[in-house]
Amino acid sequence: MAEDKKAENTEDKNALMKKDGHYFYANGKRKTSVARVRLYENGKGEIIVNNKNITDYFFGELIPSVKAPLKLANAMKLFDITALVTGGGVSSQADAVRHGISKALLEYDPELRPQLKKAGFLTRDSRVKERKKFGLKRARRAPQWAKR
């Protein structure tokens, strides 16, 4: 039973990543989220994240955030994009997809680097949650101290 589910999951991922045509690939990361992004040439501007349309997967201000590198490069209708995202929350997944799209655009056209770099899309935001230390309640929060 577990093997069947694992096989189905693998087939779903493979179906997503087996779109026809030449593509530009990049990994994007943010916190614990990792996005594997493919830009397919001669597309219609369709963005698919984990086998769902971008409007079904992300919401609100996250959608323009994900599309920002494409808008900056005037490539909104040049590519069809597929992304597989794992880990983290919805917001960090959106940032990971944006990072992956930006890096894949560099594969397509290295001359976009100054624009993308200035906008901050190529910088991997490496801030992650600090680990809890023993003897403390959280990463830095100590137990309350009583003098008497």
Task: Pick the closest to residue 29 from 142, 129, 121 (CA basis).
Answer: 121
Q: Which residue has the tokens 């397919």?
A: 40
Alpha-carbon gap, residue 86 to 95, rounded angstroms: 12
> Is 22-119 a domain of CATH 3.40.50.1010?
no
Confidence of residue 5 (pLDDT cuts 50, 70, 90): low
pLDDT, tens digit (0-9, with 9 covering 90-100), for 84-98 = 999 999 999 999 999
The better pLDDT of the pair 99, 22 is held by 99
Alpha-carbon gap, residue 123 to 25, rounded angstroms: 17
pLDDT, tens digit (0-9, with 9 covering 90-100), for 40-67 = 998 899 999 999 999 999 999 999 999 9
Alpha-carbon gap, residue 82 to 145, rounded angstroms: 53
The structure's pTM equals: 0.83
Burial class from Cβ neighbours inside 10 Å (0-12, 13-18, 19+) for residue 142 reads exposed
- Rg over CA atoms, the chain: 19
